[in-house]
Structure 1
Amino acid sequence: MKISTRGRYGLYFMLALARSYGEHKRSVKSIADERGISDLYLEQIVTNLKRAELVKSTRGAYGGYELNHAPDEITVGKIFRTLEENIVAVEGDDKDTDTERYLWGRIRDALRDVLDHTTLLDMVNHDDDEIDDYMFYI
């Protein structure tokens, strides 16, 4: 499975909003600058998050974006399903045996379980020191 930049940047954006939840609103530009990514590209992603009612925006001097729900109510699965065309752990084909389909189904279910049971709050509260590398291979 590979998550696109669209999914990753959307998750970065949502995590930034979760970290400031209840304190202040954030601009797309400030989050894009923190991550070193294009604010124009991030704005396109945020449009989809807003359409899915995951974020809301306020105009004006004290405006910006904020989460539309508490961080413990928004799952990573909801974010990825909003931004990714398809989340596929393994693409099976018509030559797969029942045994192989069983394995692919278990992998799909495990992935779905992780995505649907990991909230933004879980991620914000996670100790970053436990992660040695950002690239994970099996």
Structure 2
Amino acid sequence: MKISTRGRYGLYFMLTLAKDYGVKKRSVKSVATERDISDLYLEQIVANLKKDGLVKSTRGAYGGYELNFPPDEITVGQVFSAVEENIMIVDADNHETKNESFLWKRIRDAVNDVLDHTTLHDIVDNDTDDFDGYMFYI
């Protein structure tokens, strides 16, 4: 499964907001700086998250981004759908047999099921590594 930097950075941003949910808002620049990524690139990704209604922003001294819903109501699938153009499980060959099609469909359905049933809360609640794996190993 290949997830682009847009997907990885978008998920990391959302996990950061989930970890801080109800406590503080975060700026794009602060998250980009702590991960050493381009704040301009992350801003483009966050714009898609905002457009899909997953995050909201507040201006001012105490402003920043926060989740629009509790972390247990936002799935990884929603995040990827907002920022990824297309998630390919495998690069299917046009010459696959009926049995191969069946296999790839089952794999795709299983991955989609995990993405659609894993919430930000599930990850924040179960991970202690500060989400480093979500930046580089998906």
Tell me the TM-score normalised to structure 1 length.
0.91
Ranked by relative contact order (alpha carbons within 8 Å, sequence separation 6 or more), the top structure is 2
**What is the SS of the residue equivalent to 1:22?**
coil
**Offset at residue 34 of structure 1 (A):** 1.1
SS in 1 for 2:31: helix
% of aligned pairs identical? 68
What are structure 2's unaligned runs of at least 5 residues?
Answer: none
Deviations 1:37-72 (A, max 9, x none): 111110111000000000000000110000000000
* Aligned match of 1:23: 23
| Whole-Å separation in 2 of the counterparts to 1:10 and 1:79 | 7
1:55-134 counterparts in 2 under 5 A?
55-128=55-128
Q: Which moved more, 1:93-102 or 1:107-116?
A: 93-102
Residues 1:54 and 2:46 are matched in the alignment: no
Separation in 1, partners of 2:5, 2:37: 10
Counterpart-to-counterpart distance in 1, 2:25 and 2:102: 46
Give the SS at the match of 2:88: coil
Structure 2 residue 45 is matched with structure 1 residue 45: yes
Distance 1:94 1:64 in 2: 47
Q: Unaligned stretches of 5+ in structure 1? A: none
Structure 2 counterpart of 1:71, which letter? P
1:126 offset after TM fit, Å? Answer: 1.2
- The aligned amino acid for 2:112 is R
Query: Could you give the per-residue CA deviations for residues 64-119 of structure 1, whole angstroms, max 9, x where no partner exists?
Result: 00000000000000100111111111232331111000100010011101100110
Aligned mates of 1:85, 1:127 — CA distance in 2 = 27
CA distance in 2, matches of 1:80, 1:99: 29
Change (3 A) 1:135 1:16: closer
The structural deviation recorded for 1:135 is 3.7
Alignment correspondent of 1:3: 3
SS for the counterpart of 1:128 is coil
